[in-house]
Chain A
Amino acid sequence: MSQTGTLMGFVHRRRRGAELFLLVLALAVGIGAYAAVGLGLEGQVPADIVGYGGWLTALIVAAHVTVRIVAPYADPVLLPLVAALNGFGLAILRRLDITYEALDDPHTFARQQLVWMTLGVVLFIVTLVLMRDHRVLQRFTYTAGLTGIVLLVLPFLPLIGREINGARIWINVAGFSFQPGEVAKVMLVIAFSGYLVLHRDALALAGRRVVFVDLPRGRDLGPIMAMFGISMMILVLQNDLGSSLLFFGLFLAMLYVATERPGWLVVGAALFAAGALAAYTFVGNVQNRFNFWLDPLDYYDDSPGSFQLVEALFGQGWGGLIGRGFGDGFPERVPFAYSDFIVSTIGEELGLTAVMAIVLCYGLIVERALRIALISRDGFGKLMAVGLGAIFALQVFVVIGGVTGLIPLTGLTTPFLSYGGSSLVANWVVIALLLRISDQARRPAPRLDPVDESAADSEHTQVVKLR
């Protein structure tokens, strides 16, 4: 926070015009991709392109106008990045819908996803409008923490808990399936931020020094052990390797940023290694995934086997540098091409070029989030921005790394691309939170010295507004 002083003299520009320009590009990506899907698969621009494009444009314009009014100093790059990814994802889902329909397995992923996107944008607007200062969330530190844990536990409750595809991460209420874990992510970031910003000084106290690294004191290990326990529980009980890794990595990153102690990373890495080893030894599913990752081609015909991963690898290899083009690939050969494996669909039909573009978009989102953390004026905002950025980074790395064979496969959705309402809505709220923090960080600092002496003299009692 030492930099805050030097930043005082610098006033950020609002850059809303730049955002609008980038949004036009983003819409061109989304609507253009939708038209290309129609041309590639049906030989004509889809008949509903005007309705679809109009709806997408309306959503994005609504989001933009809201930002203009209630968060004028917010980061201008985040919203266009998200709009491009979401629009592009819709086009990919539409592409898959057409093929699934031809195979007598009709789905309306694109249509449903557009509905979820609408809900996401509405919540995005509501968040920005209702929450004018992110620091109010600090009051809900323990409420958020409790809510997060309850949400994680929900899938185990009888009646509403559902197990889908081997992972018990769903609840079913009134006919709607929902992944509470997606919301729990946001809740936990708020809880960690509030907790760490208060206890960072205590947690930063040095303990024993081992090879240039100050290890934390033993008595401070409580929180990290608790988080480790929760992560292992998620792994063992929900069979969800991806979320487990995500939550623990998230906590570790935030703890490190809050305390500035690399010693926590050593402790965290040791715990992670121990956890991974235990998981490999005791959880058969983890062992399988690890073997499939090492030699995917050897387990092609087995059951459970690596058919899905190998088909994804075949598809992406076939796509090559520029892809086969919409309609000329066989993404339907990969089970769950519309959710976890959407990147392999993109790689097959649009090639390495598109995959790199996607990865760069995510990289930029993470970069913007960390930049917001750097310039944020309060510790709570810094920690929240780091946490939200870390979620994106870890989730994208784990899922794209898994699909491309870099790391063992774990089930996680690709933010804004994969089909899935819970994830999409939660991620729109995440973006709203980031924009709110950045608006606070970039807006000119309030002038603290009253200059109008006559006005000061005229009042004996000053009214100070704290918002």
Chain B
Amino acid sequence: MNKPIRVVAVFCLVLFMALLVNSTYLMYVRAGELSEDPRNRRILTATYSRERGAILVGDDAIARSVSSNDKYRFQRTYSEPFKYAPVTGYFAYFSQTGVERSQNPVLSGDDSRLFVTRLVDMLSNGDPKGGNVQLTLDAAAQDAAWNGLEALPGEAQGAVVALEPTTGRVLAMASTPSYDPNVLASHDFGAVSEASERLNDDPREPLINRTIGTTLPPGSTFKLVTAAAAIESGNYDADSMVPGGFRYQLPQSSTTIGNYDGGNCGGRRITMTQALQVSCNVTFLSLANELGTEAMAEQAEAFGFNGTSLEDLAGQAQSLYPRDMDAPQTAMSGIGQSSVTATPLQMAMVAAAIANDGDVMRPYVVDEVRAPNLSVLDRTDPETISKAISSTTADELTRMLVATVDSGTATPAQIPGVEVAGKTGTAQSTADRPPYAWFVSFAPANDPKVAVAVLVQSSDTSPDEIGGGALGGPIAKAVMEAVINR
């Protein structure tokens, strides 16, 4: 009977080998895939109970983990919750947003760049710690942006974003109404889900980061793009004579469109500079019509439209310049109406590109990633996305924008002793809602340090006051001053 016993032995060997191989497959090969399953509560709890790294602005930790005496061991706390919430996002058990989400591998300590730290933690039997994330935000600029939005009358919905034109660093990113991420990071999950429901149901959408998540018609601020396209076409410069007048009749249509103030922009033929100074609708309607959809779309896309460029935050909406518009729509697009929409970040990028000799820099909010021992693991390098306009075009546009602030519609942004370039905008929405107020600017004009875009989406201010940069201008000015005077 020994021969079949040996066969049985070999068969048993095969069974046990299969068990060993399958266990290895499950616990080594497949472990990564299983840990990524969103239903895996073990991973959730483990990440949630870890000492997470801090999020820093300057030298201050705006988000950090402090010891808590419960089973999750660490409580995420935000020192200036409302002001920075659009950037930091929140860190809750079931979901994360903002930098908390995009930099989660670093903050939780799972990033491969933290491998050595992890190894040391493991060998010394210490608890794993997350790395720190240094933001590009400038505390003074953020303060100015936030305080400006907070000071708006009524329950304003607004957004401010400031960029460093030469690098693309985001210096300020504020959005109102905001929310308190401390509430959502609480370990009392019942209260969290209640708060989260309330925030989600709030018609004023406090959870949205309006600087990147809201797209609206950019209105007159889009005239910068139209002007850029016109100068790039080679047929115009700042002193070229362009059509002015009271009204413009849309092509293939009997509809006519007048200027915002009902005037004639100063004559039937005016200089391009004057057209921009008074924000002449007639001029830019006719320029867009003349340039055509293709040239306009190409210019818009060179500035970053029809795409997203910020990689550090999720929840971005695409700024759109549709390529399938007909002639009247294309004309309307010249003044930032019809189907053109933009985020405040996109308009800040337009201003920054003009300030930066036409180079569009990729915006970024994460400056450095540091290990728990503060050694720098990674630093974001500025990256040029595209050359939107030639540097001569940029110079021409800058000159025109300086004139607009000096003696045009954008005077509220004047800073004594500093040359400021800026443009106002007012976009129409439906009749029963007030228009959106826009303001884009950069300063100093000869050596730009900051480019700002301000959007005031809804405010209790009467529609008349909105157009002249009365709402956005002072906020932009405060942010620019904060950066220049630091």
Contacts and interface: CB of A to CB of B under 8 A. Distances in A.
Interface of A: 1-3, 253, 256-258, 260, 297, 300, 310, 313-321, 329-330, 333, 347, 351-352, 355-356, 359-360, 362-363, 366-367, 370, 373-374, 379, 382-383, 386, 389-390, 393, 396-397, 400-401, 404-406
5 contacts: A317-B33, A318-B34, A318-B43, A370-B5, A406-B19
A93 to B, nearest CB: 21
Given A374-B6, A390-B12, 10 more contacts: A253-B8, A257-B4, A257-B5, A314-B37, A316-B23, A317-B34, A367-B9, A404-B26, A406-B19, A406-B22
B27 A359 contact: no
A135 to B, nearest CB: 16
Contacts of A330: 41-42, 45
A465 B3 CA distance: 33
A156 to B, nearest CB: 31
A318 B32 CA distance: 8
B189 interface: no
Given A319-B27, A330-B45, A404-B22, A362 B16 contact: yes
B26 A317 contact: yes
Contacts of B39: 300, 310
Contact of A317 (B6, B27, B41): B27
Contact of B16 (A318, A321, A366, A379): A366
B19 A321 contact: no
Interface in B81-97: none
Given A359-B16, A366-B12, A257 B1 contact: yes
B42 A401 contact: no
Contacts of A300: 39
A193 to B, nearest CB: 11
A397 B19 contact: yes
Nearest to B15: A397
A22 to B, nearest CB: 20
B66 interface: no
A95 B71 CA distance: 18
Contacts of A351: 27
A367 B8 CA distance: 10
A348 to B, nearest CB: 8
Contact of B5 (A356, A374, A401): A374
Contacts of B45: 330
Interface residues of B, number: 36
B23 A389 contact: no
B8 A386 contact: yes
Contact of B23 (A333, A352, A363, A366): A352
Contact of B2 (A360, A374, A383): A374
B8 A256 contact: yes
A158 to B, nearest CB: 39
Given A313-B34, A363-B16, A347 B1 contact: no
Given A320-B27, A352-B27, A315 B2 contact: no
A352 B23 CA distance: 7
B99 to A, nearest CB: 26
A333 B41 contact: yes
A410 to B, nearest CB: 15
B18 A406 contact: yes
Contact of B40 (A260, A314, A355): A314
B41 A356 contact: no
Interface string B10-49: 0011011011101110111011111101011111011000
Nearest to B3: A260
Contact of B8 (A320, A390, A404): A390
Contacts of A317: 26-27, 30-35
Contacts of B42: 314-315, 318, 329-330, 333
A316 B19 contact: no
Nearest to B7: A256
Contacts of B7: 256
B250 to A, nearest CB: 56
Contacts of A333: 41-42
Contact of B24 (A352, A362, A363, A389): A352
Contacts of B13: 363
Contacts of A404: 19, 22-23, 26
A359 B26 contact: no
Contacts of B22: 401, 404-406
B30 to A, nearest CB: 6
Contacts of A257: 1, 4-5, 8
A347 B8 contact: no
Contacts of A253: 8
B189 to A, nearest CB: 17
A347 B23 contact: yes
Contacts of A363: 12-13, 16
Contacts of A260: 1, 3-4
Given A318-B43, A363-B16, A401-B19, A313 B35 contact: no
Contacts of B20: 356, 359
B16 to A, nearest CB: 4
A321 B29 CA distance: 10
A333 B42 CA distance: 9
Contacts of A329: 42
Nearest to A328: B46
A359 B2 contact: no
Nearest to B22: A406
Given A317-B26, A359-B20, A386 B5 contact: yes
Contacts of A373: 1, 5
A299 to B, nearest CB: 12
Nearest to B16: A363
Contacts of A313: 26, 34
Interface in B38-93: 39-43, 45-46
A319 B12 CA distance: 27
A355 B23 contact: yes
Nearest to A329: B42
A315 B26 CA distance: 10
A352 to B, nearest CB: 4
A373 B12 CA distance: 14
A347 B27 CA distance: 8
A393 B12 contact: yes
Given A359-B19, A374-B5, A401-B22, A389 B27 contact: no
A397 to B, nearest CB: 4
Nearest to A259: B4
Contacts of A406: 18-19, 22
A207 to B, nearest CB: 18
A355 B3 CA distance: 31
B19 A256 contact: no
Contacts of B34: 313-314, 317-318
A315 B6 CA distance: 37
A385 to B, nearest CB: 9
Contacts of A356: 20, 23-24
B106 to A, nearest CB: 21
Contacts of B9: 367, 370
Nearest to A197: B1
A213 to B, nearest CB: 14
B38 to A, nearest CB: 11
